[in-house]
Structure 1
Amino acid sequence: MNDRQELQELCGVLTKCGRKLLTEFLHDILTPNELRELCQRWRVIKLLAAGQTQREIAKTLKTSLCKITRGSRELKKKNSSFLQVLQIHAKN
């Protein structure tokens, strides 16, 4: 299997996990730094969607503009997966 196939397989398995098991799995598979990075990226997406500027986010989260710019660019794409996930988040 190549990386794309592995990712598809993993996503398929993860969609069948409940929140508790998924949380435990992420804690087990990711290092503490990777988990912090993932959570910070999620914060960036939510703050961008809420209308905060990239510079405000960089200052608040003490992160680089590059990471924030990537999130901003993804949010602007047609059929953005970021926007779709944020819509699901807003429904919960």
Structure 2
Amino acid sequence: MPTQQESSVGEEAVQAIASVFARVGSAAEMRRFFDEILTAAETRDLALRWLLLRKLRAGMPQRRIADELGISLCKITRGSKLLKNRKSVTVRMLDDGHDSEDGEG
């Protein structure tokens, strides 16, 4: 059953923020945008998700990722399943070199 927060945020709102993200011009501007709209914890959670995807794509074993990052295997398994989808935007971003530390590709 969805929480009140989940039910009050519809697909239109999700599409709106996706459109805003798509218009951000640079990694530096995106970082500023994150700082403005997300808490520090939310930004770290997003960065952690990307880091685990990078480690998976590099071939690091799931248990090692769990140990290094202090996260559950369930979270890692979700990422692993995502990376098996050849049509995934995430896979394309990782493979196209959009996974550098500085965010510039």
TM-score (norm 1): 0.86
Give the Å deviation of 1:78: 3.8
Residue of structure 2 aligned with 1:6, choices 2, 6, 13: 13
More helix per residue: 1
Identity %: 37
RMSD over aligned CA atoms reads 1.8
Give the Å deviation of 1:87: 2.4
> What CA distance in whole angstroms lies between the structure 1 residues aligned with 2:52 and 2:10?
26
Q: For 1:4-58, what per-residue CA distance to the aligned partner results, in whole angstroms no more than 9, with x for missing partners?
A: 2222222222222122322111112111111111111000000000000100100
Kindly tell me the number of residue pairs found equivalent between the two proteins: 91
Structure 1 residue runs of 5 or longer lacking an equivalent are none
Runs of 4+ in 1 over 4 A off after TM superposition: none
TM-score (norm 2): 0.76
Structure 2 residue runs of 5 or longer lacking an equivalent are 1-8
Give the Å deviation of 1:81: 2.3
